[in-house]
């Protein structure tokens, strides 16, 4: 009986160590999405020489500004948004330029993973209209 118990205990310890080692080599994806703003032909409208200048674009709520990152890729600029500290289903002022502010509302949920919990945007709304995406990239057409 004692040998059976020791064998079972060894298997449990070995299995848990194997899982721990597996999780140590996995890094969680940061809670980020990409936002593109394009015209009706799909051309980017973000850029210092375009309609929406990165220096004017701002996301805020109750006076607290959310940091945005601007990413250039193949001549197009998109916005990188880390939503990790954002409040789910809250309205954020998305100022695109001095005279144009939209309302951004994200539904953010946390899920259990095998090695860690992660957050995901389940709904992306701009001015109350849902913009769907099957990836972590959202396209706003202006």
Q: Rounded to the nearest 5°, which phi and psi values hold at 60?
A: -150, 165
Contact call for residues 124 and 88 (beta carbons, < 8 A): no
Which has more confidence, 102 or 113? 102
Q: Is residue 61 part of a domain?
A: yes
User: Per DSSP, what are the bridge partners of residue 91?
Assistant: 105
pLDDT at 27: 83
Q: What values do phi and psi take at 77, rounded to 5?
A: -110, 135
Q: Is residue 60 assigned to a domain?
A: yes
**CA separation for the pair 107, 113 (Å, rounded):** 19
Range with the poorest average pLDDT among 9-13, 26-30, 71-75, 89-93: 9-13
Mean pLDDT of the chain: 88
pLDDT tens digits, 16-30: 445 556 788 878 889
List the domain range (segments joined by +) for residue 86.
28-141
Has residue 94 got a pLDDT over 80?
Answer: yes
Q: How confident is the model at residue 33 (pLDDT cuts 50, 70, 90)?
A: very high
pLDDT at 120 over 90: yes
- Is the pLDDT at 85 greater than 90? The verdict is yes
pTM summary value: 0.81
| pLDDT value of position 20 | 59
Confidence of residue 114 (pLDDT cuts 50, 70, 90): confident
Sequence-separated (6 or more) residues with CB below 8 Å from residue 20: none
Question: Is residue 127 domain-resident?
Answer: yes
Is residue 20 assigned to a domain?
no
Kindly state whether residue 130 falls inside one of the protein's structural domains: yes
pLDDT at residue 11 above 80? no
Q: How many domains does the chain have?
A: 1
- Is the Cβ–Cβ distance between 102 and 126 less than 8 Å? yes
> In this structure, is residue 10 part of a structural domain?
no
Residue 107 lies in a domain: yes
């Amino acid at each position: 009986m004692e040998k059976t118990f020791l064998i079972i205990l060894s298997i449990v310890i070995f299995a848990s160590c194997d899982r721990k080692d597996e999780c140590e080599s996995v890094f969680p994806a940061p809670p980020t999405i990409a936002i593109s703003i394009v015209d009706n032909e799909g051309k980017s409208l973000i850029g210092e020489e375009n309609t929406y200048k990165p220096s004017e674009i701002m996301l805020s709520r109750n006076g607290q500004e959310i940091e945005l990152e601007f990413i250039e890729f193949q001549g197009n600029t998109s916005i990188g948004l880390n939503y990790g500290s954002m409040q789910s289903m809250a309205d954020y002022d998305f100022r695109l330029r001095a005279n144009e502010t939209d309302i951004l509302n994200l539904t953010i949920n946390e899920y259990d993973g095998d090695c860690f919990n992660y957050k995901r945007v389940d709904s992306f709304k701009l001015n109350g209209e849902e913009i769907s995406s099957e990836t972590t990239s959202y396209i706003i057409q202006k």
